[in-house]
Amino acid sequence: MHDHSYFGSLIQTDTLSGHLRFEKKFLILTPMDYSSLTYTLNNRIATITLDRPERRNALDDVMIKELLDAFSVANRASDARVVVLTGSGPAFCGGMDLEYLKKCAQLGHGENLEDARNLLRLLQAIYKLKKPVIAAVNGPAVGGGCGMVAACDFVFAARTKAKIGAPEVRLGFLPALILVFLIKRMGEGRAKEFVLKGETLDAPTARERGLVTEIVEDPVLLSTVYAFAENLSKTTSASSILLTKDLFSRFNEMDMNNSLEYAANINALTRKTDDFKKGIESFLNKDKLEW
């Protein structure tokens, strides 16, 4: 339903990326009402919390659609500098909902292909987000949950409760979609050993294998993540983060020569930006810069 009144102070439109509201001719993007997750924005940190604790926050078509929406909202929110992804209850994400997969087994190839592509779109959305994404792994993250962890920029894991696994080969399934991101994070050799054995790793082992950035004592996981996120938002330029993350995406799509040429061009262009001038001026004057 659309209510478009040009002279009105409020215009609302239901869209895939959330509710659009025009107030005093300014466009404001707010998240839709979610049934399987929550989205909050405080202190320039957007938090996306998987919220199906009774199903161990397992992924189905509804949750994947809502996650895509929530990351789109966070990506466009000018007052969000960092995104935190975590789970409610004892699990981070128990992978794909097995009851949902059981139903998918009865569908045709085209329907299953579209469903698989939606999960791929979610992993790509996390990996390519314009802002840093931090996984706060509060419990088991397996299958698709492991893939989301691998797609994040930083991974903080609860010392005793976090478990990260790729058990697909033990279930007659394949870690096809998540493997792309596991290879990027762990390297091919370690990723191959991990998925061929269908392993589930505790936090210290996951850190040794390159999956985890930092191990945190369980009770202070979120407070540690938020302190890190707040510091990151204050000490880094939003435009520099955006362009640096874009470099990773573009380098993956280019050969060496084109990557180097693109790097030279973006280096030269960045020297003319306001953030660069502000940063240089602050460094020369020995001023403490807060972005």
Catalytic residues: 168
Write the single-letter amino acid at 246. Answer: D
Q: Nearest CA to 166 among 189, 199, 205?
A: 199
The CB density around residue 271, as the number of other CB atoms within 10 Å, is 10
β-sheet bridge partners, residue 130 = none
Q: Check: CB of residue 221 under 8 Å from CB of residue 158.
A: yes
Strand partners, 14: 19
The residue with tokens 């998925």 is 195
**Beta bridge pairs of residue 135:** 85, 155
β strands within the chain, DSSP E: 2-3, 11-15, 18-23, 26-30, 37-42, 45-50, 82-87, 133-137, 140-142, 154-158, 163-165, 200-202, 214-216
How many helices (H) and strands (E) the chain has is answered by 11, 13
